């Protein structure tokens, strides 16, 4: 594998530079005086920001974008051999790294690197940790899979030994990371276009855990049925967190305030400690916060900064994000695109003041929708009104085996008001006529469904 020499900046080209993670890595290298170029399918605010920092970026991908002065090429899991730039790099025999391999090499420059993994909750937990580090004035480097207001974007380049990032299991990319602390929030069946099933996913997380050094730390959800399988034969230190009192870190006296925000008393190794006040809702965010507290304790960050960091964290963008109000209807946007995430968002919504709950759900990928069809229907039936729009293909092609209207019909069979619309305009017109005073409206999915809420709000 090609090894970067960070004391000798070179020209690095990113295929797919506009992605939330790729753009963050490009910014880190730009600030380390590397020459950066790249390409993406469409322009965005993220790309405009990179250009303002000196990156040379082409909209559209072609072999002509691969110039003679490129020293190294970085690409994402979404780039395949038929990509014209990838094919040209192979023809020229240019050194190439995956996004995860580059991230791993960057992380190796930091003494206290933290990788946050799990099927759900990575962005929120990484953001919580980032907020704690910022409160403690540790000057961290941060790479997060969402926009975080406290750092003004998705990346922050610091000048200390602290580095925190998300670690994604898709295509086993996190196997290229060798952190000091790993967090495993949960292990669930997802990315079934790559994994054969839950057993392979569990083994993947086990392999990720083995990357920790003997003096490293694994912070893991101790309530998982697969705990022993993930942690078997590990030599590192292991700390557990969860809702049950069998864990090292767990909550008692859980309450939701009038805004639906969660509060609890922290218990560490059987001893009650401070009262934790979160600025976000959902039981799942209690467990997320417990893992962040455990990481902060390992690093010796005073608890006062943990308390203020968690209390001031209002969520990352697209994570139960308040977009505004339309008349007396509250509009929320959420990134949930897996049944477990939908149920977590529903639990948050139920604790948020409302009359009726509306959700506009955009399924993400045909593979996931087909594989978890019944689970999606079961999760969505808990809302009062469900609107389905077309499946967001992302990296896939339409198989013809599943359609969003099939899911709407199944939810209707389960007794919940559900309907399918073929256009965003039709959804907006229906909502304007049918949403009532004090209703809560959630746009949900990992695609572009958020545009419906923004259009309704006149943004």
6 CB-contact burial (10 Å; exposed 0-12 / middle 13-18 / buried 19+): middle
Active site residue 321: no
Distance CA 323, CA 443 (A): 10
Supply 245's token pair: 């009192």
What CA–CA distances, in Å, run from 232 to 102, 203, 229? 28, 11, 6
Distance CA 106, CA 257 (A): 41
Distance CA 265, CA 246 (A): 16
Per DSSP bridges, beta strands 329-334 and 321-326 are antiparallel
Active site residue 352: no
Distance CA 233, CA 55 (A): 45
Among 135, 166, 169, 321, which one carries the catalytic annotation? 166
Active site residue 111: no
Among 76, 119, 123, 345, which one carries the catalytic annotation? 123
Supply 227's token pair: 């705990």
Among 76, 119, 122, 240, which one carries the catalytic annotation? 122
With contact defined as beta carbons under 8 Å apart, do 240 and 222 qualify? yes
- DSSP designation for 392: B
With contact defined as beta carbons under 8 Å apart, do 376 and 369 qualify? yes
Distance CA 267, CA 257 (A): 20
Distance CA 183, CA 158 (A): 21
- DSSP designation for 173: G
Q: Which residue has the tokens 């963050």?
A: 24
SS3 content of the chain, % helix, strand, coil (to 5): 35, 25, 40
Give per-residue burial for 194-207: e unless 16+ CB within 10 Å, then b.
Answer: ebeeeeebbebbbe
The catalytic site residues sit at 122-123, 166
């Amino acid at each position: 594998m090609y090894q970067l020499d960070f004391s000798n900046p070179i020209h690095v080209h990113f295929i797919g530079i506009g992605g939330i993670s790729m753009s963050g890595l490009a910014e880190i290298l730009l600030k380390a005086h590397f020459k950066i170029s790249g390409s993406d399918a469409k322009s965005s605010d993220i790309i405009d920001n990179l250009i303002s920092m000196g990156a040379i970026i082409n909209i559209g991908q072609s072999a002509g974008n691969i110039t003679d002065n490129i020293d190294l090429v970085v690409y994402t899991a979404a780039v395949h051999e038929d990509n014209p730039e990838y094919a040209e790099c192979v023809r020229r025999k240019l050194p190439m790294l995956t996004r995860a391999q580059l991230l791993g090499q960057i992380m190796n420059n930091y003494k206290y690197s933290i990788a946050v993994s799990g099927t759900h909750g990575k962005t929120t937990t990484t953001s919580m940790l980032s907020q704690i580090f910022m409160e403690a004035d540790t000057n961290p480097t941060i790479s997060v899979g969402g926009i975080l207001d406290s750092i003004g974007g998705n990346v922050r380049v610091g000048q200390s030994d602290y580095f925190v990032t998300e670690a994604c299991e898709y295509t086993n990319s996190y196997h290229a990371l060798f952190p000091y602390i790993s967090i495993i929030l949960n292990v669930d069946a997802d990315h079934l276009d790559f994994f054969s099933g839950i057993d392979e996913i569990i083994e993947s997380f086990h392999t990720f855990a083995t990357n920790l050094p003997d003096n490293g730390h694994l912070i893991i959800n101790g309530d998982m049925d697969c705990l022993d399988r993930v942690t078997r034969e590990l030599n590192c230190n292991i700390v557990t967190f969860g809702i049950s009192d069998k864990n090292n870190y767990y909550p008692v006296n859980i309450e939701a305030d009038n805004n639906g925000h969660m509060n609890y008393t922290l218990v560490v190794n059987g001893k009650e400690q401070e009262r934790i006040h979160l600025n976000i809702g959902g039981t799942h965010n209690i467990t997320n916060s417990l893992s962040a507290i455990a990481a902060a304790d390992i690093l010796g960050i005073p608890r006062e900064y943990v308390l203020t960091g968690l209390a001031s964290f209002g969520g990352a963008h697209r994570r139960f994000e308040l977009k505004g109000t339309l008349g007396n209807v509250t509009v929320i946007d959420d990134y949930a695109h897996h049944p477990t995430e939908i149920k977590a968002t529903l639990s948050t919504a139920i604790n948020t003041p409302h009359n009726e709950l509306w959700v506009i759900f955009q399924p993400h990928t045909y593979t996931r929708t087909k594989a978890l069809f019944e689970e999606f229907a079961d999760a969505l039936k808990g809302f009062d009104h469900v609107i389905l729009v077309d499946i967001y293909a992302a990296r896939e092609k339409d198989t013809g085996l599943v359609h969003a209207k099939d899911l709407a019909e199944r939810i209707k069979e389960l007794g919940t008001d559900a309907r399918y619309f073929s256009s965003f305009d039709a959804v907006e017109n229906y909502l304007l006529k049918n949403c009532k005073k004090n209703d809560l409206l959630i746009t949900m999915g990992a695609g572009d469904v958020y545009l419906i809420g923004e259009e309704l709000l006149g943004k």
